[in-house]
Structure 1
């Protein structure tokens, strides 16, 4: 049974913005500033360039292959089944870690420290349930959350720029080339939300036209928001942001806008929920696509007859995310997520590079830059995250090899 095409261009842009705005603005500044220091804007620029190249590859592929699954489906068609499997597996494991990071971020802003873990678990369970009752409900809720998030960020930017003339921020650590690249790798975690649009290819109206436009619009909007918030944090807090669990709240507090603290906390919490909701949606669709090809257990490919969504996949993903929330921390989740997502886009660039003729929308050099950027950034990530990521990727490869051997027998 196919998924229903119900999402408009505005819905797709909202889902992409919901993934990116919630991920980057409220979760990644402390770890990224800790490694990039005064080179944070350069790191942001590097991450944005790599993300743009990857976005054009995803847009070009999605226009030709408007089906659920994102690069899992694209790589299968353009390169072969093994490439598709590795892309899909990297996406699923990376984005499951992203879900855990977003749930932790939500709890950090919405609850006292002793309550953060149970609140994060409750958020995952609630949004997984929302996804089980139809994608149009997901898109509507995401739109509302994006608007609330942007209003809160507007307050942060206004407070930060207003206080910049009188503030004396603590000096940031000196930048190094390696630190900038590692910061870019961590910041890339924040830019990867446009992939959610591509994974919804089977549910978007006029996908060949809408998906490429939605990806570019969502990414462009996110870059503008990131630059403004980065400047506000640097001009107001400086290195004090490195040890903060909620730097955007600290910006308005340092500016003397104490009344705005609760408002920004609400905005941060809603942004994190928006990102979590969109991420859960995308993972569920990729899981569905992989299960259809038997690269994951076939029972995950069942689509609910009434709501026309992959409820088994959504529930399974939700349970795994809850398990990660119970055992991991935020920095580890971000590093692991970046590892999986950078490998995913490496394969996306390779698949787009192979396309020929009138299906090409962008020059090949963008795919080359994107692939090289992914390779460079993935090799600068924290060592522990890279080691765990490599082990999980190899576990997935072993599973597929075992399944193929059993099928041949």
Structure 2
């Protein structure tokens, strides 16, 4: 008697709205990314107002890659794990070792990023609301809290992130529209960019640009995260492209519109001080 060794499919409970809400976690990192690009990290200088141009380039490159990502993901519509899981399946016929490495190492690479995001979020929470509690404790509490939510299943995660993403999107639209309608945006200032270089000369400019492009690569999760739950999405052939498109629109708001509006409303120096 032969056993059926096929894997049990994931329950499909996500629509394109839930998938988009999950993907907006990548866009919500924009404030940390803008700060790192604008003012730098520790002793490493940032790119100044030219960071806005780098963000625009990064998002455009992500837009260009989005159709290929979507097509690749939908080749294995029953998998979860995004590009890593898809590449793992693609490499499996050629090398089981390479297949396992593609699936594991990609997500292990995100562990430090998640830890850094927790620390940055905890630092803001501690500064604003909990000045007597150590940042490390708040960061660990955030990690434990979100781990517990994830262990409850994708339905509970979706129920949590949809209202959060909705509120975040509303605030982002308001932050973009209100300064424009109130006439507080200096469009000449918003489109004047200056590159901060670590040392004089063209090589210093090139070094600054390349360092900025490395950080801009983190804009990609705004799209890639929309493909991580294909196996849990209802009618993925229809809903996953919708989620990727919606994520692309929101990424444009967070990574292009908001930085330009803020630069025009506050100016390069004031914006740098606020982000710092």
Q: Which TM-score band (shorter chain)?
A: 0.7 to 0.9
Tell me which residue corresponds to 2:219: 190
C-alpha distance 242-45 of structure 1, shift in aligned 2 (>3 A)? same
Tell me which residue corresponds to 1:202: 231
Query: What's the offset of the Cα at 1:32?
Result: 0.8
Distance in 1 of aligned mates of 2:132 and 2:101 = 38
Distance in 2 of aligned mates of 1:72 and 1:197 = 13
Distance in 2 of aligned mates of 1:239 and 1:89 = 42
Tell me which residue corresponds to 1:58: 69
1:229 matches 2:234:
no
State which of 29, 32, 45 in structure 1 corresponds to 2:34. 29
Query: What's the offset of the Cα at 1:195?
Result: 2.3
State which of 106, 111, 117 in structure 1 corresponds to 2:136. 117
Question: TM-score, with normalisation over the residues of structure 1?
Answer: 0.53
Query: What's the offset of the Cα at 1:144?
Result: 0.7
Distance in 2 of aligned mates of 1:110 and 1:71 = 32
State which of 111, 120, 123 in structure 2 corresponds to 1:105. 120
Match of 1:65, SS state, is: coil
Tell me which residue corresponds to 2:86: 74
Tell me which protein shows more helix as a share of its residues.
1
State which of 46, 55, 58 in structure 2 corresponds to 1:47. 58
Distance in 2 of aligned mates of 1:5 and 1:183 = 39
Task: Kindly report structure 1 stretches of 4+ aligned residues shifted beyond 6 Å.
Answer: none
Query: What's the offset of the Cα at 1:7?
Result: 0.6
Query: What's the offset of the Cα at 1:98?
Result: 2.5
User: How many residue pairs were aligned?
Assistant: 244
Match of 1:5, SS state, is: coil
Query: What's the offset of the Cα at 1:30?
Result: 1.8
- Equivalent pair of 1:43/1:183 in contact (CA under 8 Å): yes
Any idea what the Cα deviations from partners look like across 1:185-242, whole Å, max 9, x if unmatched?
2122133133223221211111223223311321222112321211133231414444
State which of 137, 154, 159 in structure 2 corresponds to 1:135. 154
Question: RCO (CA 8 Å, sep 6+): is it higher in 1 or 2?
Answer: 2
User: What are the residue-to-residue correspondences of 1:6-21 with 2, within 5 Å?
Assistant: 6-17=13-24, 19-21=25-27
Tell me which residue corresponds to 2:202: none
User: What are the residue-to-residue correspondences of 1:347-366 with 2, within 5 Å?
Assistant: none
Root-mean-square deviation (Å): 3.0
Match of 1:2, SS state, is: coil
- Equivalent pair of 2:70/2:241 in contact (CA under 8 Å): yes
Query: What's the offset of the Cα at 1:159?
Result: 5.8
Tell me which residue corresponds to 1:238: 268
Question: TM-score, with normalisation over the residues of structure 2?
Answer: 0.76
Tell me which residue corresponds to 1:372: none
Gaps of 5+ in 1: 251-409
User: What are the residue-to-residue correspondences of 1:207-218 with 2, within 5 Å?
Assistant: 207-218=236-247
- Equivalent pair of 2:81/2:228 in contact (CA under 8 Å): yes
- Equivalent pair of 1:47/1:184 in contact (CA under 8 Å): yes
State which of 2, 5, 10 in structure 1 corresponds to 2:12. 5
Any idea what the Cα deviations from partners look like across 1:299-327, whole Å, max 9, x if unmatched?
xxxxxxxxxxxxxxxxxxxxxxxxxxxxx
